[in-house]
Each structure stands twice: as structure tokens, then as C-alpha cells.
Structure 1
Amino acid sequence: MCGQVLLLVPTGPDPDPDLDPDDLPPRPARVLWPDAGRRPPSPAVPAHLSRELAEAAACLGAGAYTMALVNVRRLLEGVCADQGITGVPLYRALRAMRRRGLIEGRLADWAEELRELGNEAAHMSGRPVGREDAEDAIALAEALLDHLYVFRSRYEEFVKRRGGTVSGRVSRDAAKTGMVIRETPAMKTLRKSRVPFTPHRYEHDPARVRSRKDLAAEMGVPRDSVLKAVIAHVDGRPVVAVAPASAEIDVAALARACGGSGARLAGMAEVSRLGWATASEVMTPLALPYLPVVVDVAVTAQPGVYVSSGRHGLELEVAPADLITITGAVTAPITVRGGT
């Protein structure tokens, strides 16, 4: 005996209830779990996530399609938690995964579809859940696990063997440190635009780094060279204001620069609801291509400036002229000194 645990379901006609159980002939059965036609998850996938996927597959085999989708949704929540994203609704956690570059493109769209399927299964939506829905959900969940826990690490090993310079997607200092810097949407924007930039790592400690000004001290660079990006509303329209971390945005000057009559700064709760950022210290103008940008004229006096990569622990150094060009920004005096 191999010791493998099997979950079986009998097939064929029911036996004669009058027969003694010891006299019953052998009855054919179908293996319900594990599914012989489905490959097991990679050992690289955390055990608790593999168990969740196995439960979803078992529900599929039993015809419990609704529960299969619920298990897939639980799997999504587990994946987000395993990546350190907790305490927020699942839709916001998936947005955070996208912003951090953990999932992107079609895979991010798939994850959102899985979330919606799970919601439909968990509530009386009136939409029937069929076998095809459950099969697709499990297949997409398998693809998500492969991407996060198998292919990403395999790709990073490949990059290390190649010296840390594959298709320009990782920093040049990777060859020196042996570390691979995972590309963020902001880095991708710079790379695709052929804009030179230098990534700078720093140790993110929330107790020490609470603002962009704190970040300048942490990195040991001039405060005026570290920029902050702030969402404002000018006559009700969202605008990105970019200025040195040491300065305060002058909303009246910002309104004049935009040709408006009035402006106000958006609160972080409002910004987060709109999906633009999770924290002020990692908001980056490079990942907001659909919003107009105004850069404070003082920025142009710096030889190089630091903008957020969109991820804690990593800043991007670029030339001010390149930042202005790539964001399509206008420049104007929009600050007063002494900002926070």
C-alpha cells in the first residue's frame, strides 16, 4: 500500500438493501480527491495555500461549484496576506498587489475576475454557478500561484545567472549586489521611455520614516532633492502637484498655474478610495499618466531628484528635465517653504 489517502464516491446502481453487507460484491468507485487529472501545486507554494486549492478542487469534483468558488476567493485572500497586504477589503488588496508589481496586466484582470466570482458565490446574487465557472476559477488560481511562487523566483534566479541585466528590467547595481530589484510600474514607465534612472534602496522603518522629509534624512540626501507628489483638486478636477519634500503646496498658486479659480488638497482617505495610492510617502507621479502634473519651479534647480518607485524601500533618481518631460508636466512656483 502506498499510504495515499483517497476520497471515493461509489458509482453504478445501489446494492440490494436486503443483502448482508458482507455478501455485497465489489462496487466500482470514482476517485473524488485528489483529482488524477490535475497536477499538484509546486512545493514552492505555501502549504496553507495549497490546501485551499485542494479543497476547491475537491468541491469541484463533488459538484459543489459554489463552494469551489468560495474556496478560490479564500485563496486570493490568503495570497494577499502572504504578500503582507492585510486589513483592507480584497479589492483594495488586489490593487495594492498591482501597484507593487506583484501582478500586472492580464493576470491582474484575472485576479479581479476571481474576486467577483467569489463574491457571486458567497452571496445570493441570483446568478447560477456552473461547473465551467468553477473549473475556470481553479485554473486561474493555479496560474496565479505559479506566477507568484514559481515563475517569479525562477526568473530572478535566471537574472542572477545573467548578471542582473535582463532586458533592462532590473537595476544595474544588481550585478554588484547579487540582488534583483523587482520592477514597479514607475520603473517600467521610465524604461519604456528610455529615460535613465538610478534605483536607490533604503531600509524602510515606519517608526523613523513617516514623511518624505524623514526619507531625505534616512537616505542622507538634501531635502530639496526628495520630491513629494500630492493629489489636489483644481475647480473639482484632480491634479498632481510635485514639489520638494521640504516645501508646502500653495493651493492658490497651484490654482493659478492650472488656470483655475480655486484648489484644495485631497485627503489620503479620499485618495485611497480613488485607488491612486496607499500611503503618501510612496505616491509617485510616474504612475499617474492620466492626470495633469504641475512641478514646482524650484525642482529644476536640482541636478538630480528622487521620486518614489511606488514601493517602500526603493527610490528612483532621475534628472528634473526627464521627470518633467515624461509626465508632461508644466512648471510654476507652487510652494512656500516650511512644508511637512
Structure 2
Amino acid sequence: MTPAIKQAEKARIAFAVHSYSHDPRAESFGEEAADKLGLAQEQVFKTLLAKLDGKQLAVAVVPVNKKLDLKALATVLKAKKADMAPPAEAERATGYVVGGISPLGQKKHLPLVLDNSAQGFATIYVSAGRRGLEIELAGADLLALSQGQWGDIAR
């Protein structure tokens, strides 16, 4: 059981865990999850870490078939600039490995923005904290558990 699943259980929200056999040769972890679980890529979200103004880390959650708009993320979080965080720094801050970073149960509380497109689904899928493991939950519940906010951050 991962910290993400423990956090969802403790909060007593409605969620489901879905697992699949992860292929280490997969080029895109999120697209692999969507394909193996038979889901639309728009409903499966990836968790990315960015660095705001070269200092503060932030979490961006966007559909796997889209790219993170770093300028939009910076604007939403009232920063001048955002860059992708180095993978090693993302792993240290979250306690998860790249490809299995969940927006839930992270070691440090970081500002989180969930792309507005998630509002079009009753539930979305995000990593449950391990490659080959997804957690399905309502976007609003993800925001409540992470103290996050909505934002138009994908393109």
C-alpha cells in the first residue's frame, strides 16, 4: 500500500485502485496506463514537478496526452517563471520515483494545480505512487486532499 492510497483511505473519499503490468520499455508512463487500462488519454493525468522562480517546487497535474504550459502554471501560482524540476529533486521532494509520482501522499506539501479539463470527468486517474498502479477519484477530492487549485495549465 502506497502513501497515496493511505491518504485516500484516511480521508474516507470514494476511490478505486487499478493495477496493470508495467513495461519498463514504455516511453510514456501515462499513455501506457491509459492503454493498458482501456481509458481515454484525456481522463488519465500525469503528475509533474516544476520549480517556481528557481526556488519553490510545485505540482502540476495534466492529461497524459497534453503538455504542461509552464508559463500558465507560473501565472496561476503567481510566480514570474516556472521550469521543470530535475527528476532527482522531484523524487526527493515527493518520496516517489519518476513514472510513479502521485499527487497524493507526498513527503512535502507543495502547491498543486490540477488542469481545468479534469472538471469534465466524474473521476480521473492519477498515479497511486508506483509504476503500474493508478488511483481513480474525483478531481474535487484530489484538490481537497492536496489543498490544490484548478488552473488552465495544459496545452
TM exceeds 0.5?
yes
Q: Aligned partners of 2:74, 2:49: CA distance in 1, in Å?
A: 13
- Report matched runs for 1:126-137 at 5 Å: none
The CA deviation at 1:209 is 6.1
CA distance in structure 2 between the partners assigned to 1:264 and 1:312 by the alignment: 24
Question: What is the correspondence of 1:55-204 to structure 2 with a 5 Å cutoff?
Answer: 183-204=1-22
1:270 and 1:257 mapped to 2: Cα distance? 22
Say if 1:201 and 1:211 are closer, same or farther in 2 by CA, change over 3 A.
closer
The residue aligned with 1:283 is 101
SS of aligned partner of 2:89: helix
CA distance in 2 between counterparts of 1:211 and 1:275 reads 17
**What amino acid maps onto 1:255 in structure 2?**
A
**Is 1:318–2:137 an aligned residue pair?**
yes
* Corresponding position: 1:213 with 2:37: no
Task: Give the structure with the larger strand fraction.
Answer: 2
Instruction: Name 1:292's counterpart in structure 2.
Output: 111
1:215 match: secondary structure: helix
- Deviation at residue 186 of structure 1 after TM alignment: 0.6
Using CA pairs below 8 Å that are at least 6 residues apart, which structure has the higher relative contact order? 2
Paired residues of 2:101 and 2:129 also in contact (CA < 8 A): yes
- Cα deviation, 1:230-254, whole Å, max 9, x if unaligned, reads 1101122110011111111111100
Q: Deviations over 1:197-239 (max 9, x none)?
A: 1111211121246421122112110101111111101122110
Question: What TM-score do you get using the length of structure 1 for normalisation?
Answer: 0.43
Which has the higher Rg, Structure 1 or Structure 2?
1
Of residues 63, 68, 83 in structure 2, which corresponds to 1:249?
A: 68
Match of 1:230? Answer: 48
Q: 1:311 to 1:246 in 2, by over 3 A?
A: same
Shift of 1:275: 5.8
For 1:239, give the aligned amino acid. A
Q: Which secondary structure does the structure 2 equivalent of 1:243 belong to?
A: strand
**Matches of 2:117 and 2:63, distance apart in 1:** 8
Structure-1 separation of matches of 2:61 and 2:19: 21
Deviates more, 1:261-270 or 1:209-218: 209-218
- Residue 334 of structure 1 corresponds to which residue in structure 2? 153
Question: Which residue is 2:121 aligned to?
Answer: 302
* 1:255 counterpart SS class: helix
Residues 71, 82 of structure 2: 8 Å contact kept: yes
CA deviation digits over 1:247-300, x for unaligned, max 9?
Answer: 111111001000111111112133235564322x21001022511111111111
Partner of 1:157: none
SS, match of residue 104 in structure 2: helix
Percent of matched pairs sharing the same residue: 33
Partners of 2:24 and 2:47 in 1: CA distance: 19
